[in-house]
Amino acid sequence: MLKTAQAHIGQILRAWDGAQTRDLLRRPGDFGLGQVPAAHAPDATTTSVCGFCSTGCGLKVHLKEGVAVNLSPETNYPVNLGMACPKGWEALNVLKADDRATHPLLRTAAGEMKRVDWHTAMTTFTDRFKAVQAQHGPESVAFISTGQIVTEEMCFLGALAKFGMGMLHGDGNTRQCMATAVAAYKESFGFDAPPYTYADFEESDVLVFIGGNPCLAHPIMWERVWRNPHQPDIIVLDPRRTETAAAATQHLALKPKSDLTLLYAVANLLLEMNAIDRDFIEKHTTAFDDFARHVQPYTPERAAAESGLSIKQIQAMAKTIAQGKRVSFWWTMGVNQNHEGTRIAQAIINLALMTGNIGRPGTGANSITGQCNAMGSRLFSNTTSLLGGHAFNNPQHRSKVAQALGMAPSCIPDQGSLAYDQILDGIDTGRIRGLWFVATNPAHSWIHQRQFRERLKKLDFAVVQDMYHSADTAQLADLVLPAAGWGEKEGTFINSERRIGRVKKVSRAPGEALADFHIFQLVAHYWGLSEQFKAFSSPAATFELMKDISAGQPCDITGIEGYDQLDACGGVQWPWSAADAQATSATGSTDTPGPDTERRLFADGRFHHPDGRARFVFDHPAPNPEPADDDYPVTLLTGRGTASQWHTQTRTGKSAVLRKLYPQGPYVEINPHDAAQWGIAAGTAVRVTSRRGSLVAAATLTHAVQPGQIFVPMHDVQTNQLTFPSFDPHSRQPSYKACAVHVARV
């Protein structure tokens, strides 16, 4: 019976791409097995880009009989130059785990998860979601996607769901992560365009890190900082004395959520010192005079009072920026995950614009993104924007995208999606009845877990597509679809510096697990959409579609020849248009930029607004939605714990090596003065309670956190029992970083 079902699935996939699928089926019972591309000699090495963080390190994969046996960092890749962090080194080992999802699982009437074949899984998927749509409208089913699958898969999923299956709403875990940077760039620059290249880490004489801990969250970017030969000043704005802050020349341990006031005060001081680039401002920006007026009341005195810093510290920061010739500003989650994150990000952008620190080596207002393919998701997931950074509400954009995909423009919705939190609110109101989660684990990672889990129970049907059946969200699903992971499939990622890098299939997926790409092909078939989506025949064919869609956009990649060129160049940074490529081949001179030339944006001072200018955007600070008070007197900070742990630990928890590199149980960092006051000794169990829930963890006493604050890493499933669901109004990104709690000995 099982064999017949597999053969049936094989036939369906074969209809898309004969050769590929014959390979897929070569071993009965080993469905979805990795077929190493014929181009690789069976016992040679090949390269791939790491599938954890957005640094996008190149890895050299060592093969035996065409299958990966080991890996090492690639020495020739322009990103990491032969370095990798522990997660990268262990990337293959996390694939081998007892809890890999090997077969579809369906919840029975009795509530148990039961193994089913793909045919049953796909008919159930289709019947159930279609029934929900028939009763409550097509928009009552939505998807939640990710920054962790290849771009081709994101593009396929977004197109399939919204242009084929009738969905209007779909968002990604990137909402938890990058939405703020996206909103800020779009408004300030006219397009979501992080301007930098990693060489900028080495070329600055001043680097300012705001709300980021790259030493452990982006260790190889941090290595690039250490290669900087200019003895740079490193300014770190973080309430905690992190590993990054400890290495800074100036650490400003500001109070959580006081960034906006502080950054406006710095702008005010720069104006006072006349340390601004009038020429750049006049030629390339708008609304500077309004901004200059806006920051006037933000005196160093006021910023000192609100941030807990000294006036001297604030003046020193401004002076260092004023004196810097090449100043780069880098921000991460301490900014993005904030109730006013978009305006803080724009306050950072404003500092770069007013001092002319953009478009030149070693400069920039630079958001560091999080997941391996968050940048791919920002452009090609069809969630917050129409494919290729287009707008759903623009008829020309809809026609262009439809034409590139060979579909009718009427397939494309003329409005954007609800944001993640609004989709979840929709469960309460009955507007959303079915959800499809792909490569994300919100039953651990989403804010305010009690509410999230209550909502999940209200759904008529929930599908989780994951590599591990034990993932927290998979355990709550009605249907689990077993997915191949990094290393078991083909495609591309886009890293933080806009570099498109290639990911290869070098390992067999276990059991009947399939690449997400193949799962989407099956969904298309069972939904009755094979004809409409026939162009999505393989990841490589989808890459060609993405290229066509990108034509004429700031992220134009029409000049990339294909996967082989990505390999040959060590990845290619967008934009790389057909015109760029033509210019290179026309001159043939080595002075003309090539696809492998490092590129930063805005070297010509032209931004993406119709007038070609960047905008100063600003606002007055809004109060912290849940400040500490008498009942909950402590501020809880959350974030990354170690370089060896990844998010919800479904992957990094499976490597024996990585497990040795981080603390074994949940812990909470407490300042020793507070601990003494609360009668807490190192190592004792403490209960941390917020208005929403509580957790128990071992006390770690450290001066890295300030009195009145504690830190709990996000990697423990309990952490989001505590967090307070507030959202930046412009980006709808959750403010994970601060809420009010109290702490007591158990």
Chain positions contacting Mo ion, by CB under 5 A: 177, 370
Give residue for tokens 């599938």: 51
Q: In what order do the strands lie in the sheet with 572-573?
A: 491-494, 499-503, 572-573
Q: From start to end of 287-370, where are the E strands? A: 327-331, 364-367
Minimal distance, residue 319 CB to ligand SF4, in Å: 33
Q: Which does 220 bind (CB under 5 to 8 A by kind): ligand MGD, ligand SF4, Mo ion, none?
A: ligand SF4
CA distance 248 to 320: 13
Binding segment for ligand SF4 (CB under 6 A), chosen from 50-58, 159-167, 622-630, 733-741, is 50-58
A 10 A CB-CB count for 633 gives 13
Tell me: does residue 57 bind ligand SF4 (CB under 6 A): yes
CB nearer ligand MGD, residue 503 or residue 572: 503
CB nearer ligand SF4, residue 213 or residue 671: 213
Q: Which does 57 bind (CB under 5 to 8 A by kind): ligand MGD, ligand SF4, Mo ion, none?
A: ligand SF4
CB nearer Mo ion, residue 364 or residue 370: 370
CB nearer ligand MGD, residue 73 or residue 554: 73
Please give the C-alpha separations between residue 222 and each of 229, 304, 334, 362, 536, in angstroms, as whole numbers.
Answer: 14, 29, 17, 15, 38
Q: Which does 438 bind (CB under 5 to 8 A by kind): ligand MGD, Mo ion, ligand SF4, none?
A: ligand MGD
Minimal distance, residue 649 CB to ligand MGD, in Å: 7
Q: SS3 of 401, please?
A: helix
Residues 671 and 706: beta-carbon distance below 8 Å:
yes
Q: Which does 471 bind (CB under 5 to 8 A by kind): ligand SF4, Mo ion, ligand MGD, none?
A: ligand MGD
Q: State how beta strands 709-713 and 667-670 pair.
A: antiparallel
Helix, strand and coil in the chain, % to nearest 5: 35, 15, 45
With vertex at residue 24, the alpha carbon angle to CA 18 and CA 27, rounded to the nearest 5 degrees, is 130
Q: Which does 648 bind (CB under 5 to 8 A by kind): Mo ion, ligand SF4, ligand MGD, none?
A: ligand MGD
Q: Is 660 exposed, middle or buried (0-12, 13-18, 19+ CB in 10 A)?
A: exposed
Tell me: does residue 198 bind ligand SF4 (CB under 6 A): no
Q: Which does 367 bind (CB under 5 to 8 A by kind): Mo ion, ligand MGD, ligand SF4, none?
A: none
Minimal distance, residue 471 CB to ligand MGD, in Å: 4
The pair of three-digit structure tokens given for residue 124, joined into one six-digit string: 């159930």
Minimal distance, residue 654 CB to ligand MGD, in Å: 10
Residue choice 78, 214, 219, 511 for contact with ligand SF4 (CB under 6 A): 219
Minimal distance, residue 433 CB to Mo ion, in Å: 28
Residues 442 and 470: beta-carbon distance below 8 Å:
no
Q: In what order do the strands lie in the sheet with 58-64?
A: 45-49, 58-64, 67-73
Q: Report the greatest alpha carbon distance in the chain.
A: 79
Binding segment for ligand SF4 (CB under 6 A), chosen from 77-85, 238-246, 718-726, 737-745, is 77-85
Minimal distance, residue 732 CB to Mo ion, in Å: 15
CB nearer Mo ion, residue 177 or residue 387: 177
Q: Which does 211 bind (CB under 5 to 8 A by kind): ligand SF4, Mo ion, ligand MGD, none?
A: ligand MGD
CA distance 467 to 95: 9
CB nearer ligand MGD, residue 242 or residue 538: 242
Residue choice 87, 130, 343, 654 for contact with ligand SF4 (CB under 6 A): 87
Binding segment for ligand SF4 (CB under 6 A), chosen from 84-92, 144-152, 600-608, 698-706, is 84-92
Tell me: does residue 88 bind ligand SF4 (CB under 6 A): yes
Residues 596 and 197: beta-carbon distance below 8 Å:
no
Rg of the chain in Å (alpha carbons): 25
Residues 707 and 700: beta-carbon distance below 8 Å:
no
Tell me: does residue 56 bind ligand SF4 (CB under 6 A): yes
Residues 212 and 244: beta-carbon distance below 8 Å:
yes
CA distance 327 to 361: 9
Cα-flanking dihedrals φ and ψ of residue 391, to 5°?
Answer: -115, 135
CA distance 736 to 241: 19
Residues 68 and 506: beta-carbon distance below 8 Å:
yes
Minimal distance, residue 160 CB to ligand MGD, in Å: 15
Total interface residues for ligand SF4 by CB under 6 A: 13
Minimal distance, residue 493 CB to Mo ion, in Å: 14
CB nearer ligand MGD, residue 293 or residue 660: 660
CA distance 317 to 321: 6
Amino acid letter, 369: T
Residue choice 85, 314, 467, 566 for contact with ligand SF4 (CB under 6 A): 85
Minimal distance, residue 486 CB to ligand SF4, in Å: 10
Residue choice 16, 52, 392, 574 for contact with ligand SF4 (CB under 6 A): 52
Binding segment for ligand SF4 (CB under 6 A), chosen from 48-56, 329-337, 536-544, 555-563, is 48-56
CB nearer ligand SF4, residue 74 or residue 259: 74
Tell me: does residue 503 bind ligand SF4 (CB under 6 A): no
Cα-flanking dihedrals φ and ψ of residue 510, to 5°?
Answer: -75, 150
The pair of three-digit structure tokens given for residue 568, joined into one six-digit string: 């040959």
Residues 121 and 31: beta-carbon distance below 8 Å:
no
CB nearer ligand SF4, residue 220 or residue 462: 220
Minimal distance, residue 99 CB to Mo ion, in Å: 23
Tell me: does residue 501 bind ligand SF4 (CB under 6 A): no
Minimal distance, residue 337 CB to Mo ion, in Å: 9
CB nearer ligand MGD, residue 32 or residue 256: 256
Amino acid letter, 644: S
CA distance 54 to 151: 13
Q: SS3 of 229, please?
A: coil
For ligand MGD, the binding residues (CB under 6 A) are 53, 146, 148-149, 173, 176-177, 210-214, 216-218, 237-240, 242, 256-257, 259, 332-334, 337, 370-371, 438-442, 445, 465-468, 471, 483, 485-486, 516, 637-640, 643, 645-648, 650-651, 714, 719-720, 723, 736-738
Tell me: does residue 55 bind ligand SF4 (CB under 6 A): yes
Residues 271 and 350: beta-carbon distance below 8 Å:
no
Minimal distance, residue 149 CB to ligand SF4, in Å: 16
With vertex at residue 80, the alpha carbon angle to CA 638 and CA 150, rounded to the nearest 5 degrees, is 70
Draw the binding track, 322-341, toward ligand SF4 (x: CB under 6 A; -: no contact).
--------------------
Minimal distance, residue 10 CB to Mo ion, in Å: 37
Residues 347 and 267: beta-carbon distance below 8 Å:
yes
CB nearer ligand SF4, residue 181 or residue 220: 220
Please give the C-alpha separations between residue 324 and each of 117, 355, 506, 550, 729, in angstroms, as whole numbers.
Answer: 62, 10, 46, 37, 34
Minimal distance, residue 716 CB to ligand MGD, in Å: 9
Residues 306 and 342: beta-carbon distance below 8 Å:
no
Minimal distance, residue 390 CB to ligand SF4, in Å: 29
Residue choice 12, 33, 53, 206 for contact with ligand SF4 (CB under 6 A): 53
Q: Which residue from 741, 659, 665 is spatially nearest to 698, judged by alpha carbons?
A: 665
Q: Which helix (H) or strand (E) holds 237?
A: strand 233-237
What does the binding site for ligand SF4 look like in residue numbers (CB under 6 A)? 50, 52-53, 55-57, 80, 84-85, 87-88, 219-220
